[in-house]
Amino acid sequence: MKREDRNKAIELVTEQTLEDQKAYCRRTSDLTIDNIIHDTIYLEKKRLKNKKRTKNVRIDIAFWTKTEKRFYSAGPLEKEEILKEIIQNYATEIAGGYSTRVYNFTTGIVPYLLKAILVNEPFWKLFSKKGKEKVNENISIIGPVDKILKLSKTGTLIVTPTHQSNFDSIVIGYATYLTGLPPLIYGAGLNLFTNPFLSYMMTNLGAYKVDREKKNELYKDVLKNYASVSLEYGYHNLFYPGGTRSRSGKIEEQLKLGLLGSGLSTYIKEAKQGKKKNFYVIPCTINYELCLEARGLIEEYLIEEGSRQVILPNDSSNKIRNILDFAKKTVNVDSRITVCFGEPLDIFGNEVNDEGQSIDKYSRPVDIYKYILVDGVPDFSFQRDRIYTSILGNKILKSFLKNNVIMDTHLVSYALFKIFQKKYPFSNIFKLVSTFGAECKKELLLETVSFLKEILFKKRDNGELKLGRVISTQPVDIIVSYAKHQLTSYHGESILHEQNDSFISNDLITLYYYQNKLTSYGLEKDINLWLQTKL
Amino acid sequence: MAANKVVTVIGGGSFGTTVAYLLAANHEKVKLWLRDEAVINSINTRNENTKYAPGITLPTAIVATSDLEEAVAGSSLLFISIPSRAFRGVAKEIGKHVTGDQILVTTTKGFEQETFKSMSEVLAEETPCLKIGALSGPNFAAEILRGKPVGSVVASRFNEVIEKVQDALGGKTIRIYGNEDIYGVELAGALKNIYAICSGIIQAGGYGENAKSLMIARALSEMSRFAFYFKANPSTFLGLAGVGDLIATCNSELSRNFRIGRKLSEGLTLEEAVKSIGQVAEGIYTLKIVKEKADRLGIHMPIVNATYKIVYEQKSVSSVFEELMLLPHRKDIEFKFTTPD
């Protein structure tokens, strides 16, 4: 958010959140301002209890200790003042430090930094014309970009991408730059701001801070109101509706609706003041042939699924060393990324035409203003609006599925994993992924990939999913050898190596991650039946 | 009287007419849309639906029309009572005229054959309306029209829809309960028709009350099993739309599906049985799609299979029932409902 808007926005967020809390108390007979403050202090102290005493943590502890002391001796008026201060403290923390000057500078630099990470060219060549062509080869942007560009001029965009990697925000930032889309502001996990490299880029590309360790409802309300206020100011927003990165590698199956609902609440708020503003939701998938954090994410997923709630402290994308390592490896890998924008939706999940008019499936115009009427006038309705947002969420999920780009690494991992599942019938997935030396005949893998490719082509033709360039254009043997090259170049030989006429894998965990991108399309029955005839 | 004075019912069959009859107690005007000009004329001039509710004097608040646009305009609440096979076509037409502030409630107990979509899903696809509900339960039109007490369930994700339907329909002879599980309610309403056919077969075959109770109880297990697979709430089947409707429809000559079953058991072909009833019996279509779906997904539904063999494969009732009785033993209760701490 621009500096000139930032302070006013903090003020508005504070006012709005305070009003919301009072409204909750009015609606819920056994909820008081005392409860809200007390619960927030309790949860904050609990959060800070075992944290390493960094400078910021010490400041936080001092704030909450002082606030608690004041709270216990305060009268009703002062308590409201305390609540306001807590809210203001949160709002100030969340607000990003965007400035147009720095944004322009950063967008100038970011493409070259990205090229350094993503392109198989020496750094000095990146500034050349050839380097630019190379980056265009490796990052594809597909979907109705011209339409989105047009809509960005008549309304406010809410871009809602899938979330697989901490690089997503950078990739989206770069994609918006390449396509000429306006800058987006977005909430990024606080952990990303601990890394100076990412923090610099995040902040100056418009990021505001989201601390996922803060679980209290008050903080979530402040966050939601910050997003709403930024939309009110006309800032194009980016939310990850899945909340956090997909641990499993699967396309999102459930969304967190809190932030997503801010589009609707802003729309109603404006309508109540007699204004009609347009908000457009742009679902979007970010698809990596290789994922920086694949191994770490899938390990977390397996631990969670195994019912042991463990948060792994070392996130591989937080360490500058790991990023450089990733960059170095990807330089040799020539990895591909596809950003796929879906059809723009309104905040109720209807599609919109080029002019921004909401339409139904027969392209008949839909008057969305009617959705928010209560006894003929626009108004909020907590339960109704929650369901509206859930309907929008379902439409976004459908768009994710349709615009999920299946790449060679996913297809080959899926084929291998299904073969291993059939060949080694362990009682559960945890035992299977711990297997070393899983072996598959080359011929069987080629046949299986060929079988799956045919199904995927049909699904692509039916508009159920999208396929990457290698799968779409290359024969099966090339797909397999290319995917193997990609996977081993980044994850090492343990994921897959050849031995005589077989492929051997000692890293089914990482294979599991990549194969999961294909698990939402009901392929299991067909592939299992087919493999029954082969194994 | 409900705040909105005008409501609409789309479909002038027996249940559509019944819903209009109930609504007339709480509204100044009930617009009833149907195509048959002779019936429209009889409703508007003689207050009688001569085809689907002969002998019943309808309230004068009911005004029949064949103009869909006129029927839809100005009503905040619309009930759609169209057979499942014609439902999408009519829904598409409705979609041309409705706006997003209007509430649509389906009363049709069936699923679309080609897509296995519920009627509320069809409404969501074919119209711009989001506030959609489904009305279900043990609701024989003939009893309601004679003023006998009845209970229904209205299901919707929107509280507003539940409350508005309760206000619009509720009265001294009808209680309306609410449920958020719209898919479960619609599934229950559609599935029970299959078991009504089976019950008719049992009744006419003289298999006795024990056999009928056995079938009804196991039908409830089958329905819950099927619903669970589709992420509906199995406990919905313990309510009016599930066990309530199942008991009524499996025991009454008023149920068309029950009568179809009885006629099949008496030796009529399916075509003859349908012809003799003269009205749509949704169960025969639902049976086909549920059988296909259960087979494909591997859901254990022996009563559906048995009924299918009798209805569509002309297998003898005795041999099919014998097969059913000789199936491996199973547990009585499959789902455990835990109470909150």
Q: Report how far residue A144's alpha carbon sits from residue A104's, in angstroms, rounded to the nearest whole number.
A: 25
Query: Which residues, 6 or more positions from A305, have their beta carbon under 8 angstroms from its beta carbon?
Result: A429, A430
Q: Count the alpha carbons within 13 Å of B329 in the hemisphere toward its beta carbon.
A: 1
Interface test with A, best of B130, B131, B159 (most A CBs within 10 A): B130
B100 and A368 within 8 Å at the Cβ level: the answer is yes
Report yes or no: A440 and A502 within 8 Å, Cβ to Cβ.
Answer: yes
Of B95, B159, B160, the CB nearest to A360: B95
Chain B residues within an 8 Å CB radius of A360: 95, 127-128
- Taking CA atoms, what residue in B is nearest to A525? B297
pLDDT of residue A326: 58
Residue with tokens 């669970």: B228
B100 and A390 within 8 Å at the Cβ level: the answer is no
Beta bridge partners of A377: A374
How many helices and strands, by DSSP H and E, does chain A display? 22, 16
B128 and A384 within 8 Å at the Cβ level: the answer is no
Of A362, A373, A388, the CB nearest to B130: A388
CA distances from A479 to A276, A292, A446, A468 (A): 50, 21, 9, 11
Chain B residues within an 8 Å CB radius of A387: 130, 157-158
CA distances from A369 to A264, A446, B116, B129, B196 (A): 11, 54, 32, 12, 44
Write the pLDDT tens digit of every residue in A320-340.
555 555 555 554 556 789 999
Domains of chain B: 6-180 (3.40.50.720), 191-325 (1.10.1040.10)
pLDDT of residue A6: 84
Q: Does A101 touch chain B (CB under 8 A)?
A: no
- Taking CA atoms, what residue in A is nearest to B162? A384
Residue A207 DSSP SS3: strand
Lowest mean pLDDT across A191-195, A320-324, B72-76, B247-251: A320-324
Interface test with B, best of A358, A366, A374, A382 (most B CBs within 10 A): A366
Q: Cα dihedral sign for A75, A76, A77, A82?
A: positive
Of A348, A364, A371, the CB nearest to B101: A371
Q: Report how far residue A394's alpha carbon sits from residue A408's, in angstroms, rounded to the nearest whole number.
A: 28
Interface list for chain B against chain A, based on CB atoms closer than 8 Å: 92, 95-96, 99-101, 125-128, 130-131, 157-160
Interface test with A, best of B77, B94, B101, B293 (most A CBs within 10 A): B101
Q: Report how far residue B266's alpha carbon sits from residue B262's, in angstroms, rounded to the nearest whole number.
A: 6
- Taking CA atoms, what residue in A is nearest to B103? A371
Amino acid at site A524: E
Length of chain A: 535
Of A361, A366, A388, the CB nearest to B125: A361
A381 and B160 within 8 Å at the Cβ level: the answer is yes
Nearest of A522, A518, A527 to residue A251 by alpha carbon: A518
Q: Does A368 touch chain B (CB under 8 A)?
A: yes
φ and ψ at B80, to 5 degrees? -115, 110
Active site residue B231: no
Given the residues B51, B109, B131, B192, the one annotated as active site? B192
Chain B residues within an 8 Å CB radius of A379: none
Task: Enumerate residues 294 to 353 of chain A having a beta carbon within 8 A of any beta carbon in chain B.
Answer: 348, 350
Q: Does A257 touch chain B (CB under 8 A)?
A: no
B160 and A384 within 8 Å at the Cβ level: the answer is yes
Q: Report how far residue A121's alpha carbon sits from residue A327's, in angstroms, rounded to the nearest whole number.
A: 11
Report yes or no: A179 and A141 within 8 Å, Cβ to Cβ.
Answer: yes
Report yes or no: A458 and A522 within 8 Å, Cβ to Cβ.
Answer: no
Report yes or no: A175 and A182 within 8 Å, Cβ to Cβ.
Answer: no
Q: Report how far residue A286's alpha carbon sits from residue A175's, in angstroms, rounded to the nearest whole number.
A: 10
Chain B residues within an 8 Å CB radius of A395: none
CA distance A271 to chain B (A): 15
pLDDT of residue A55: 86
One digit per residue, the tens of pLDDT, for chain A of length 535 reads 777 788 899 999 999 999 999 998 998 888 899 999 999 999 999 999 888 888 889 999 999 999 999 999 998 889 999 999 999 999 998 886 655 666 666 666 666 666 655 554 555 555 555 555 555 667 899 999 999 999 999 999 999 999 998 888 878 888 888 889 988 888 877 766 666 666 666 666 677 888 888 889 999 999 999 999 999 999 999 989 998 899 999 999 999 888 899 999 999 999 999 998 999 999 999 999 998 889 889 998 988 887 543 333 344 544 555 555 555 555 455 678 999 999 999 999 999 999 999 999 999 999 999 999 999 999 999 999 999 999 999 999 999 999 999 999 999 999 999 999 999 998 888 889 888 899 999 999 999 999 999 999 999 999 999 999 999 999 999 999 999 999 998 888 899 999 999 999 999 999 999 999 999 999 998 999 999 998 8
Q: Report how far residue B324's alpha carbon sits from residue B202's, in angstroms, rounded to the nearest whole number.
A: 13
Q: Report how far residue A474's alpha carbon sits from residue A412's, in angstroms, rounded to the nearest whole number.
A: 13
Amino acid at site A391: I
DSSP string, B189-255: HHHHHHHHHHHHHHHHHT-HHHHHHHHHHHHHHHHHHHHHHTT--GGGGGSIIIIIHHHHHTS-TT-
Residue with tokens 């967190």: A256
Q: Does A256 touch chain B (CB under 8 A)?
A: no
Q: Cα dihedral sign for B39, B42, B43, B44?
A: positive
Beta bridge partners of A439: A504
Q: How many CB pairs under 8 A join A and B?
A: 40
A364 and B159 within 8 Å at the Cβ level: the answer is no
CATH-assigned architecture of domain A100-401: 3-Layer(aba) Sandwich (3.40)
Write the pLDDT tens digit of every residue in B190-243.
999 999 999 999 999 999 999 999 999 999 999 999 998 898 998 899 999 999
Interface test with B, best of A353, A361, A526 (most B CBs within 10 A): A361
Task: Label the pairing between strands B150-156 and B132-136.
Answer: antiparallel
A348 and B125 within 8 Å at the Cβ level: the answer is no
Domain ranges of chain A: 3-94, 100-401, 405-532
Chain B residues within an 8 Å CB radius of A362: 92, 95
Residue A291 DSSP SS3: coil
Lowest mean pLDDT across A230-244, A417-431, B84-98, B325-339: B325-339
pLDDT of residue B341: 47
Q: Where are the alpha helices (DSSP H) in chain B?
A: 14-23, 37-46, 68-72, 84-97, 119-126, 141-145, 159-169, 182-205, 208-229, 245-249, 256-265, 270-277, 283-297, 302-312, 317-325
Sheet of A156-161: strand order equals A139-142, A337-341, A279-288, A156-161, A237-238, A185-189, A207-210
Tell me how far apart the terminal alpha carbons of chain A are, to the nearest angstrom.
59
Report yes or no: B234 and B180 within 8 Å, Cβ to Cβ.
Answer: no
